[in-house]
Amino acid sequence: MQILKERIQKYGKNLGHGILKVDSFINHQVDPVLMDSCGREFAARFASINATKILTAEISGIAPALMTGLYMNLPVVYARKTKPITMPDEVYLTLAPSHTKGRMVELIVSPEYLAGGERVLIIDDFLASGATIAGLVRLAEAAGARVIGIGTLIEKIFEGGRELLTPLGIPIESLVCITTMDDGKIEFLK
């Protein structure tokens, strides 16, 4: 997706160790118009999969997931990392390593909003190691739902997430693919 690629080229920062800082338009400051375009693009790419729900992880998955949900007319559930007092005692919970926090985090979904038989589209900001998305897949499976597509804004293909998720046999769509971040560079898939 050209406009997202150009934004990364212009404002993305390679902080080393595979960390791509996109805080000026995705992760701390968000550009709603850009997210709107990304949501529209996901909706087009996943138009035919007949999803019934979008699942993402707080925090930075919310913006692209919300815009995708808008164009697909689907509810969005975001897995919480801490259990709020409004959530029932019995929940679906899994652990996933956080790349930017350097530790395991919990991913929690209430059974109220993820039911057996749902067809789940996972949307997130990054596909890196795939660990967070694999965690979301486990939550969906625990609920008896079926994940039928995965969409991410930015894939770092050198971190192996696609290999981890390919056995699911479902479409995986990334709007931008980065091939290497070695030596301070940010190189895109041609």
CB 165 → a second copy: shortest distance, Å? Answer: 24
Task: List the x/- string, 82-111, binding to a second copy by CB under 8 A.
Answer: x-xxxx------------xxx------xx-
Interface pick for a second copy out of 40, 45, 80, 146 (rule CB under 8 A): 80
- Residue 32 or 160 having the CB closest to a second copy: 32
Contact region with a second copy (CB under 8 A), list: 19-27, 140-148, 149-157, 167-175: 19-27
Interface pick for a second copy out of 3, 70, 134, 168 (rule CB under 8 A): 70
- Per the CB < 8 A criterion, the answer to whether 110 and 137 are in contact is no
Within 13 Å, how many C-alpha atoms sit on residue 113's CB side? 16
- Which amino acid, 180? T
Beta strand pairing call for 187-188 and 172-180: antiparallel
Across 110-189, where does the E strand assignment appear?
Answer: 119-127, 146-156, 172-180, 187-188
The Cα 62–Cα 58 span in angstroms is: 6
| Residue 40 interacting with a second copy (CB under 8 A) | no
- Which amino acid, 33? V
Tell how far CA 144 is from the center of its chain.
20
- Residue 92 or 165 having the CB closest to a second copy: 92
Binding site for a second copy (CB under 8 A): 15, 19, 21, 23-25, 27-33, 35-36, 58-59, 62-63, 66-67, 69-70, 73-78, 80, 82, 84-87, 100-102, 109-110, 112-113
